[in-house]
Structure 1
Amino acid sequence: MANTWVDSTAAGFGQWADGRDDDTADAQGVRLLLELADEELGLRGPEDLDAGALRGLLLEVFPAAVVADADEVPAIVATVRHLIAFLAERGVADGAALTAELGRLEPEFAAAVEAADSTERRAAAEVLTGLMRDDGVDPADPAAAERWLAAFDALPEQERFERTDAYLRQVEQLAVPPVRLAPEAELAAAARASGLTAQARALAAWTGERAVTEYDELTGADAAAAAADLGIATPRAEGDPAEQADLPEIDRLWWAAVEADVIAVTGRRARPGGALADLDGGADADVLHVWLRLFDAAAVPEHAADDGLDAVELVQNELTGVLIHLYEQDAPAPAAELGDALLEHIGDGYEVSDARALEGAVRDALRLEIADLLAWGVVREGAGDGLELTPLGVWGVRELLRADGFAAPLVGELAGASAADLVAGLAWHRADTAGEEIDGWLARHAAKDAAADLLEVMRSGGPGARNLAAGVLGRIGDEAAPVVRAAAGEPLCRPYAALWLTAHGHDGFALSRDEYLWVFVDTLAGMLETAEPDAAVRAALAGVPADADPAAMVSDIWRADHPGTTEVLDALGAHHPDREIAKAARTAAYKARSAQGPAGGS
């Protein structure tokens, strides 16, 4: 339920507007402003709406919380003027001071709404474009796009929401961290030297002109002869082969070579395919194209159905998950870790009758797959007993991910981006690439301009965006001091600006205890946006100074004037490693909810 002061003030404004017979007095707009002032700024009544609160409401809260067109700004400003006039007449606000402040704020407010509007429109356009593509519509075809938009607009609002929500969830799942790519010449050299290339080339040469079965494959006898003549081990085979499929290693290589046109099959005869020449003497791009087709077909061989798969087929079906796991890691992953992740995924996705027996078979099958990936030049042994993708493996896996609709960015792509896009992109970066991305961005932006843009992100973004923007700001030199100093009086920028100024040797900006607590809450709230609560709590606690009193800090957090206070205390109560401090956090969360009153718990 809404706070009493919001209800009473909104009702009073409605009566005031009716008495004035003024059609431009927007009662619903006033209620929205009051609710934002209550929920986001923590105002306890209309008398708290002073010049500072008005600045925070219009420049920070409103653009982040409300989707508004830039051409609506005059009407919104008029609504604020009506609210000020009403409060002044009731004697609960300084009308002259607020009106003067509104005049000063109007240009900044217009710019903030326009920036948020542009970002919102761009995001909406990206979503609609993605939905079109999912429906098989080419967004570049104006007529087809217009027909699709008309049909989408005609859907019930709930269905449009559900489709959009499902798409956004899918996009979030189909995103991987940025990576660096080796130069094309280096990748092509690795592809030419790949064991997969060598095996495919050798099988094509061995096949020559040969009759094949009605299923366009070798006979069992020929498959066995190929394995023997080419020295290809067949540890997955069981017994004498009656058909090619009984030798999984040959079967997999055969179909990969056919898919890549290294071997051509027509009229029940096989012969070297047109792509063999590209492998033998093609340009770098041609070699990589053929190698990628080989890798794509070999990485996940076709199986008729999921039902009745043995452990070898099961692991091959899930090998892309193993490759993605390696792609996303910032350090080599031990084979045992890969096996654990694979088994967990299999347990979630398949009916398993004998988990213990399956575990051993799956780990054995995974060892065979890893041996193939090593031989193909896709994986290499890293530090300790860990495994990592080779540069060729990174390139190949990224190409497969992109073909499947994943967002797979490259390090350095954000160098020319806006500060808002940089911060949004950094959320996907690993620790080992974020610094490089930030350095590239800073090299393209003047220090003062970069600082101003980052501070604007702090004003308009949530905790996660503020954390990342502050991290980037921390890498800017002292030439940005005038810009940062100017922002030190703004509520959402003040703590981070003070930290920056203090770090750069400027006196008089030490954080108060309340500000320190606010920064801690903001930091953990930002981490909770993208990380599991236990991981977020561990990371936040790692940044607490060694001389801090954690018990006292947790006990005082409930007083922090931050909308994420209760969420942060709930996370600390559930995941703080010290049981007594966790208990104190739960008690503090109760106090925070009590202090918020009915509106905070609604």
Structure 2
Amino acid sequence: MANNVIDLRRPTGEGCGCAACEKLSFPPVELAADAELAARVPVVPLVADAVALARWTGTRPVGPEAMLPEADAARAVRELGLRPERLRLLWVVAVNTGLLRITRQQAVPGPFTFGKGVEATLEFWDGVVMDVLDRADEGLTGSAVIDEHLAETLATVYSVRTGVSVPVLAKGILQSHEVACGPYKGESILRELTSALELLAYCGLVETTGEPIASGSRIRLTPLGTWAVRQDLRREGHDAPTAAQVRVFAELDASELVAAMVAGGVTPSAVASWLERRSPLEAARALTAIAAYGNAGERGAAGTVLDELGPEAEGPLRAALTEPLLWRYAASWLHIRDLQAPSLTPDDHAWLAVDTLAALLYLSDAPGTLGGLDEDLPGLVAQLPSVDHPDTLAVLDLLASHHDDQVVAKAARKAAMKARSLGPLKL
């Protein structure tokens, strides 16, 4: 594992900032059965205490901000054996998840019970975790640094199934904080992290791989923590598949995989799993055979997988240099890996640009608007009418109607008119 924690924040430097640029891919995880997970929820210490607090509260007046009055809060802490600093979190969880309901300045029993079934219980648990993570903005752990990087920290632990050493995790948080926010001004990030992990264990999210949480232990997500963090990652648009989902794609042949990619149903982790089941030569031979005779969408999908292969796949790519629709891709693939290949002319690069854009015509999940494709796109568009590609005109029409930069759209409309006027001359 890298020393730095995973960065889930929006990019602040280079990049277009689109959803595709922000999306991260996480390794597949094995999830416990829903029924097993649901059975674990009531015994999570945080949940058990929230249930106890709701029962203790019953029906009684609430104070400002819909919280327990100070005297009642002190009594609840004393009678239920709660830690005072956790009472606010418990109250928020109880109210937001339906254990309690606030109406007319009083708390009353809420509608949620654990007898409503597995799905309702997991939905309840999802709400509990969202409440916990939302409290990071209010000082959940007592450490401003840990709170700032809480989501990234959980994502890092999620990505390492065998657990993460607490000192290594602390070092990663510190490095990420110093890069993003400046020098750390606290006394001990390791001590702050250890305290935060104790709270997260109380919340049912993490556990140690052996001894109690301490500076020398390793930390991992609980089964419920894995389920909840995956839910959160998927809400944020990241690729976080289950092992079962990935196994389905790993068993497809190359043509089925490419078809699924064009249809928009394949994640990067599924592609990685597919490649793990095959030798580089086997994968490259199958993919180049499809790309050589397929449409631009199929070439783009196959090319995405071929990009994951190293020089050991050279043979099939070198053989593809004889294919009219694929040789430019093959030459580029070889050049990138410092392997001998024919040089590409500006016209060849323009052809590749058309083919890349043409892939959008075939993809089921193509964006509704186009933007950030190339900083010199107006200049490129002017060259496209002379590009001998079967989809040139369709690409120009696509840019004219869907690009969000009016300069590009106008240039594409003008180029499309020129391409149509040149059409008969190419017969």
> TM-score per shorter chain, which class?
0.5 to 0.7
Q: Deviations over 1:370-419 (max 9, x none)?
A: 11222333212227832111221111111122223333223343525633
- How many residues align structurally? 300
Q: Deviations over 1:239-273 (max 9, x none)?
A: xxxxxxxx431111111221111121122211221
| Contact persistence 2:41–2:125 (CA under 8 A) | yes
Deviation at 1:438, TM superposition (A): 5.6
User: How many Å separate the matches in 2 of 1:380 and 1:339?
Assistant: 16
User: How many Å separate the matches in 1 of 2:158 and 2:31?
Assistant: 12
Aligned: 1:466 with 2:293 = no
Deviation at 1:464, TM superposition (A): 7.1
Which of the residues 234, 237, 246 maps onto 1:402? 234
| Contact persistence 2:25–2:268 (CA under 8 A) | no
Aligned: 1:393 with 2:222 = no
| Contact persistence 2:158–2:221 (CA under 8 A) | yes
Moved more, 252-261 or 369-378: 369-378
Tell me the residue number matched to 1:343.
Answer: 174
Tell me the residue number matched to 1:291.
Answer: 125
Following TM superposition, where does structure 1 have runs of at least 4 consecutive aligned residues deviating by more than 6 angstroms?
449-452, 461-464, 521-524
AA matched with 1:322: T
Deviation at 1:200, TM superposition (A): 1.2
Deviation at 1:229, TM superposition (A): 2.1
User: Structure 1's 469 and 363: CA in aligned 2 closer, same or farther, altered over 3 A?
Assistant: closer
What does 1:16-415 correspond to in 2, within 5 Å? 165-168=16-19, 170-172=21-23, 174-233=24-83, 247-275=84-112, 277=113, 279=114, 281-301=115-135, 303=137, 311-350=142-181, 355=184, 357-360=185-188, 362-382=189-209, 385-414=217-246, 415=248
AA matched with 2:109: P
Deviation at 1:293, TM superposition (A): 0.7
Tell me the residue number matched to 1:589.
Answer: none
| Contact persistence 2:63–2:69 (CA under 8 A) | yes
Instruction: Name the SS of the counterpart of 2:31 in structure 1.
Output: coil
Q: Deviations over 1:323-373 (max 9, x none)?
A: 111112243111122222222333344365xx3x4152x433322221122
User: How many Å separate the matches in 2 of 1:325 and 1:312?
Assistant: 18
Instruction: Name the SS of the counterpart of 2:101 in structure 1.
Output: strand
| Contact persistence 1:379–1:393 (CA under 8 A) | yes
AA matched with 2:164: A
User: How many Å separate the matches in 1 of 2:195 and 2:34?
Assistant: 29
Q: Which blocks of at least 5 consecutive residues in structure 2 are unaligned?
A: 1-14, 211-215, 293-298, 323-329, 345-427
User: Structure 1's 165 and 453: CA in aligned 2 closer, same or farther, altered over 3 A?
Assistant: farther
Which of the residues 425, 428, 433 maps onto 2:269? 428
AA matched with 1:192: P
| Contact persistence 1:458–1:465 (CA under 8 A) | no
Instruction: Name the SS of the counterpart of 1:206 in structure 2.
Output: helix
Give aligned-pair identity as a percent. Answer: 24
CA RMSD for the aligned pairs? 4.4
Tell me the residue number matched to 1:456.
Answer: 289
User: Structure 1's 347 and 410: CA in aligned 2 closer, same or farther, altered over 3 A?
Assistant: same
Deviation at 1:219, TM superposition (A): 2.7
User: Structure 1's 290 and 212: CA in aligned 2 closer, same or farther, altered over 3 A?
Assistant: same
Tell me the residue number matched to 1:570.
Answer: none
User: Structure 1's 206 and 463: CA in aligned 2 closer, same or farther, altered over 3 A?
Assistant: same
| Contact persistence 1:458–1:492 (CA under 8 A) | no
Tell me the residue number matched to 1:419.
Answer: 257
AA matched with 1:264: R
Deviation at 1:463, TM superposition (A): 8.2
TM-score, with normalisation over the residues of structure 2? 0.57
